[in-house]
Chain A
Amino acid sequence: MSAMARYVVARATDIPEGERAIVEVAGREVGIFHLDGEFHALLHRCPHLGGPLCLGPVVGLIESAGPGDLRFDPERKFLTCPWHGWEFDLRTGQSYFDPQRVRARRVPVAVEHGQAIAAADDDENGRRQGPYVAEVIPIAVEEDYLVLTMRR
């Protein structure tokens, strides 16, 4: 059973509102989305046939009670796979067509202040510094960083 680790992957300001980024962490790729003031992260791999999920269009929800009825909710955001178009709730990763059994892998993402990161002992907290590592770019204590929690 592999342990979970936390990875600093970006400054919060690197991903403006409405944008996304794909980062490579611990041998996997993760897409991070900044929407409506929140960050969401999903494994960059569609559970259907392995497509590059996080490159897909983000759309609002369309539902219907019957032919002729089209209900559009732009506030409910779904990531659609750029290949076969499967819809995944951006916040939960659940597929639209079978939310209980089919989902994209959600990756917990937190915003943490640089001061807290710099003050922590890496080994005790199990926190690893990812692509933004101290030796490449120093952690600035006054900034916010995006931290992913993933298996090592």
Chain B
Amino acid sequence: MSLAGFSGAVIDCDVHANVPSLETLLPYMAPVWTQWTRERAWKGPLGVATVYPPNAPTTARAEWRPDDGRVPASELALLREHVLDAGNVERAIVNCYYGVDSVRHPDLGNALASAINDWLIAEWLDKDERLAASLVVPARDPNAAIREIERVGDHPGFVQVLLPVRSDRLYGSRIWHPMYAAMAARGLVAGIHWGGTPEGAPSPSGWPSWYAEEYAAEWQVYMAQLTSLIAEGTFQAVPELRVSFLESGFTWVPIWGWRMNKEWKGLRREVPWIDRPPLDIVRDHMRFSIAPTHGGSADDLATVLRWLGTDELLLYATDYPHLHDDDLSALLASLDEDGRERLMAGNARAWYRL
């Protein structure tokens, strides 16, 4: 794994723990679920394969696909071999997207979320002190999410709650505010991450035909969530809330922020709880991982970073085992020495209080 010549401390803010199979989780679930799933020959949620087609190049880099057929990123041993021991990785934040949100049965969804969290504790957090993790919640139901946050959120290894970026209610909506309060009370960051299975099309305009088409356009899902969080006064309601955008890119953030600032000046009376320019709120309450970056040249990136107004917003991540066509060296070249240190570890250390 190339770190483009960077030799300082590294905190990887987005590495995946992929559930090898449903059988991995069943021991962590009540016995009824073993019978329930066997009776139906149910192998697990479908949501994952929709957003990460197993054989797609972007789902795993060739060098991160085990030769022996194990599911990529499904074991701590693989994470150590490919990421933790391969570079000077001080800490890594483990995210498990298993498509729990695509499960409609509320009890099965709750049981799966709890099982994933217990598995993350037993097989990951308790076995390598370099690891932190996001806890998984039944993301369709704010009350169920709060219960799970209350159940495991105090474990010292959990620093974040994973929320799939596609949802049925925009994440700024007030129905979510009590969930954010539960996160903030425990110092947990809301991690908005690739994935999700909303009721309708994952866009304003139908279902994309090609995965590449959908993958490229996915920005629009993140943008809508960011606008919602700002517009609904989420950070006025929960002032301690922090939100990370993961697998979102960031080159869109300045122009999105300028647009919000422009509109706010004239439309403020409709959303009077927004008490300062929205882009300032973004800087205070949001961070963005750099996998993918999808940037231009180093000069282009330097311009975008200058428009962002601070080098404190970006979080280094490999997004292991995923592939994005990125050039880390261009991003590093667009930063000065302090900026590189912040990108590769300092921002994450401060943001996640590691």
| Contacts from A to B (Cβ < 8 Å) | 48, 59, 62-71, 81, 84-87, 95-97
* Chain A: CB-nearest residue to B266: A85
Q: Which residue from B266, B267, B272 sits with its C-beta under 8 Å from A70? A: B272
Q: List 12 A-B contacts (CB under 8 A).
A: A62-B269, A64-B236, A65-B236, A66-B236, A66-B237, A67-B174, A69-B273, A71-B272, A84-B265, A85-B265, A85-B266, A86-B265
The DSSP consensus for interface residues of chain A is: loop
Residues of A with C-beta under 8 A to B273: 64-67, 69
Residues of chain B having any CB pair with chain A under 8 Å: 174, 177, 232-234, 236-237, 264-269, 272-273, 277
Q: Shortest distance in angstroms between B5's beta carbon and chain A's nearest beta carbon? A: 43
Contact of B272 among A64, A85, A86 (CB under 8 A): A64
Do A87 and B264 form a contact, CB below 8 Å, given A65-B236, A67-B174, A67-B236? no
Which chain A positions have C-beta within 8 A of B232? Answer: 67
Min Cβ gap B171→A in Å is 14
A48 to B266, CA, bound (A): 10
Q: How far is the CA of A66 from the CA of B268 in the complex (A)?
A: 13
Closest to B233 in A: A67
B258 to chain A, nearest CB (A): 14
A75 to chain B, nearest CB (A): 16
State whether A85 and B267 are in contact (beta carbons under 8 Å apart), knowing that A65-B273, A66-B273 are contacts in the complex: yes
Supplied contacts A67-B233, A68-B174, A95-B265, 4 more A-B pairs, CB within 8 Å: A67-B232, A86-B265, A87-B268, A96-B268
Contacts of B177 in A (CB 8 A): 67
Nearest chain B residue, comparing its CB with the CB of A97: B265
Task: Indicate if the CB atoms of B272 and A63 lie closer than 8 Å.
Answer: yes
Give Cα A97 to B269, complex, Å.
Answer: 11
CA distance A97 to B265 in the complex (A): 6
* Most chain B CB neighbours (cut-off 10 Å) among A63, A67, A96: A67
Which residues of chain B come closer than 8 Å to A68, judged between CB atoms?
A: 174
| CB pair A81 B272 closer than 8 Å | no
B264 touches A97 (CB 8 A): yes
Shortest Cβ-Cβ A-B pairs, 9 listed = A85-B266, A67-B233, A64-B272, A84-B266, A64-B273, A66-B236, A62-B269, A62-B272, A97-B265
Q: Provide the bound-state CA to CA distance between A68 and B266, in Å.
A: 20
Residues on the B chain within 8 Å of A67, using CB? 174, 177, 232-234, 236-237, 273
A58 to chain B, nearest CB (A): 13
Contacts of B264 in A (CB 8 A): 97
Q: Is B236 within 8 A of A59, CB to CB?
A: no
State how many angstroms separate the Cβ of A5 from the closest Cβ of chain B: 33
Instruction: Assess the B236–A86 pair: CB atoms within 8 A.
Output: no
* Cβ contact of A86, chosen from B234, B266, B277, cutoff 8 A: B266
Min C-beta distance of A76 to chain B, whole Å: 12
Residues of chain B contacted by A64 (CB below 8 angstroms)? 233, 236, 272-273
Q: In the complex the two chains form, what is the Cα distance from A84 to B269 in whole Å?
A: 12
Closest to B265 in A: A97
> Is the Cβ of B237 less than 8 Å from the Cβ of A97?
no
For the complex, what is the distance from the CA of A55 to the CA of B170, rounded to whole Å?
Answer: 37
**CB proximity of A39 to chain B, nearest CB, Å:** 25
B268:A97 contact, CB within 8 angstroms? yes
Contact indicator B265/A59 (Cβ below 8 Å): no
In contact, A66 and B233 (Cβ under 8 angstroms): yes
Count chain A CB atoms within 10 A of each CB in B266, B267, B272, B277 and give the residue with the most.
B272
- Minimal Cβ-Cβ distance residue in A for B267: A85
**How distant is B144 from chain A, measured CB to nearest CB, in Å?**
23
Nearest CB in chain B to that of A66: its residue: B236
Chain A min CB distance to B243 (Å):
16
What CA separation (Å) do A59 and B264 show in the bound complex? Answer: 17
* A62 surroundings in chain B (CB, below 8 A): 269, 272
Q: Which residue of B lies closest to A84 (CB)?
A: B266
B275 to A, closest residue via Cβ: A64
- Give CA–CA (A85, B263) in the complex, Å: 9
Please report the C-alpha to C-alpha distance between residue A69 and residue B174 in the assembled complex, in whole angstroms. 13
- Assembled-state Cα–Cα distance A65/B235 (Å): 11
Residues of B within 8 A of A95 (CB): 265
- Looking at the assembled complex, report how far the CB atom of A22 sits from the nearest CB atom of chain B, in whole angstroms: 21
Which of A48, A66, A85: most chain B Cβ within 10 A? A66
For the complex formed, measure the closest distance between the CB of A133 and the CB atoms of chain B, giving whole angstroms: 38
Given contacts A67-B174, A68-B174, A97-B264, contact A87 B237 (CB under 8 A): no
CB distance from B250 to the nearest CB of A (A): 26
Nearest residue in A to B274 (C-beta to C-beta)? A64
Roughly how many angstroms separate A70 CA and B268 CA in the complex, as a whole number? Answer: 12
